[in-house]
Structure 1
Amino acid sequence: MSSFAKRFSPIEEPAACDGEGLEPRRQLRVLHVDDEAMNLVVVKEIMSAFGHGADQAWSGAEALERLARRRYDVVLMDIHMPQMSGIETVARLRALEGPNQETPVIALTADAVTRSLPDYLSLGFADFVTKPILVSRLMAAVNRAVMLDAARLFQGGVAVGF
């Protein structure tokens, strides 16, 4: 385990990272999409510290390829990327049939002024987290998104592992 993972383990920060008491009982499959290497490293370490696996994609196009092949529990999507923004990537994901068409996507952005939560929800996102990323905010957003998705699936008659 890396020193970063030890520093941010859920044992050391339980109250701030339990997503208001809604903590998944299983390892999550997370896809993190970002064009900045350091952001990919930091988020991978955070997810690992909480026992979740995080695949990575460097662009919207690469993300769509991965999302067409493998089911994810949640996607963490950078908003400002070259060639295809996070907003365009989510729009394409929602328009395509596939295993992740309705998977919750959390926007990650350094721009906390331009859009609000209702704006992101209307664009197909489940939530947003501002950069620099705080562990407690990221994990709370992930936990909320996963639990809401589980409730949606349960209402649709699909059993999930919670």
Structure 2
Amino acid sequence: MSSSPADQCSILIVDDMEENLIAFEAVLGPLHEHLVRARSGEEALKAMLRQEFAVVLLDVRMPGMDGFETAANIKRLDQTKDVPVILVTGAEAGADYAYRGYAIGAADFITKPIDPWVLRTKVNVFLDLHRKTRQLAMRGTAGDTDRLAEITERLAQIELLLRNRPGAESAGLADRIAAVERSVDSLLPGPTG
């Protein structure tokens, strides 16, 4: 499945070994997404603070900050806590790896040697979820803006009708509606008319 540049997502690949990074890139290349490399947990955290990622592939065994500690730090930060993390482990990983990973918030596990089809399928699930979440957020914002603009327009019409009616009561009500109209109008993004 190929994505357009506007629809393209970023995937963070974290591994201290160059050959593993190359293998991930080869497997994920057909997805036509933006792949970002990190060679340590520290480098991964810096990358995540600089840009948005749809999913993180994180090697468990790395010198310094290992995958578990890196994942725990990712899940602690407000900016990155919702990014799904797939932990990548060696075949010798025990059941305690899964327990530790899920306990710190990992979304999934994949074992080396990696089955390319399984990895692409799992990553695609998170890419689709990320795109849908982004679409919903954009629709919600646009829908809210449209609705506020509609409310402002209706308030302006009501205010005009009241100002055209004789009587002090109508004028007072029109003034209150004008105040509400200004309040709603101030909620709209950008310059208002």
TM-score, length-scaled by structure 1: 0.72
Asked if the contact 1:24–1:143 (Cα under 8 Å) also holds between the matched residues in 2, the reply is no
Asked if the contact 1:108–1:128 (Cα under 8 Å) also holds between the matched residues in 2, the reply is yes
Structure 2 Cα separation of the partners of residues 146 and 104 of structure 1: 10
Q: Report deviation, 1:60.
A: 0.1
TM-score, length-scaled by structure 2: 0.61
Structure 2 Cα separation of the partners of residues 122 and 148 of structure 1: 22
2:84 counterpart of 1:104: yes
Asked if the contact 2:10–2:54 (Cα under 8 Å) also holds between the matched residues in 1, the reply is yes
1:23-62 equivalence runs, <5 A: 26-62=7-43
Structure 2 partner of 1:91: 72
For each residue in 1:88-140, what CA deviation from the matched residue of structure 2 results, as whole angstroms up to 9, or x when unmatched? Answer: 00111111122x22111101111443346565322211111100111011112
Asked if the contact 1:34–1:57 (Cα under 8 Å) also holds between the matched residues in 2, the reply is yes
2:111 counterpart of 1:130: yes
Q: Report deviation, 1:148.
A: 4.6
Structure 1 Cα separation of the partners of residues 113 and 64 of structure 2: 23
Structure 1 Cα separation of the partners of residues 34 and 53 of structure 2: 10
Asked if the contact 1:106–1:127 (Cα under 8 Å) also holds between the matched residues in 2, the reply is yes
Structure 1 Cα separation of the partners of residues 78 and 121 of structure 2: 28
Asked if the contact 1:31–1:76 (Cα under 8 Å) also holds between the matched residues in 2, the reply is yes
For each residue in 1:54-87, what CA deviation from the matched residue of structure 2 results, as whole angstroms up to 9, or x when unmatched? Answer: 1100000000000011001110000011110111
Pick closer, same or farther for the CA change 1:108–1:64 going to 2, 3 Å: same
Structure 1 Cα separation of the partners of residues 93 and 13 of structure 2: 19
Where relative contact order (Cα < 8 A, 6+ residues apart) is larger, the structure is: 1
Q: Report deviation, 1:146.
A: 3.4
2:67 counterpart of 1:67: no
For each residue in 1:11-69, what CA deviation from the matched residue of structure 2 results, as whole angstroms up to 9, or x when unmatched? Answer: xxxxxxxxxxxx98843310000001100001012221221221100000000000011
Name stretches of at least 5 consecutive residues in structure 1 with no aligned partner.
1-9, 11-22
Higher helix share: 2
Asked if the contact 1:24–1:147 (Cα under 8 Å) also holds between the matched residues in 2, the reply is no
Larger CA Rg, structure 1 vs 2: 2
CA RMSD of aligned residues (A): 2.7
Number of aligned residue pairs: 136
2:92 counterpart of 1:114: no
Q: Report deviation, 1:159.
A: 4.1
Asked if the contact 2:3–2:32 (Cα under 8 Å) also holds between the matched residues in 1, the reply is no
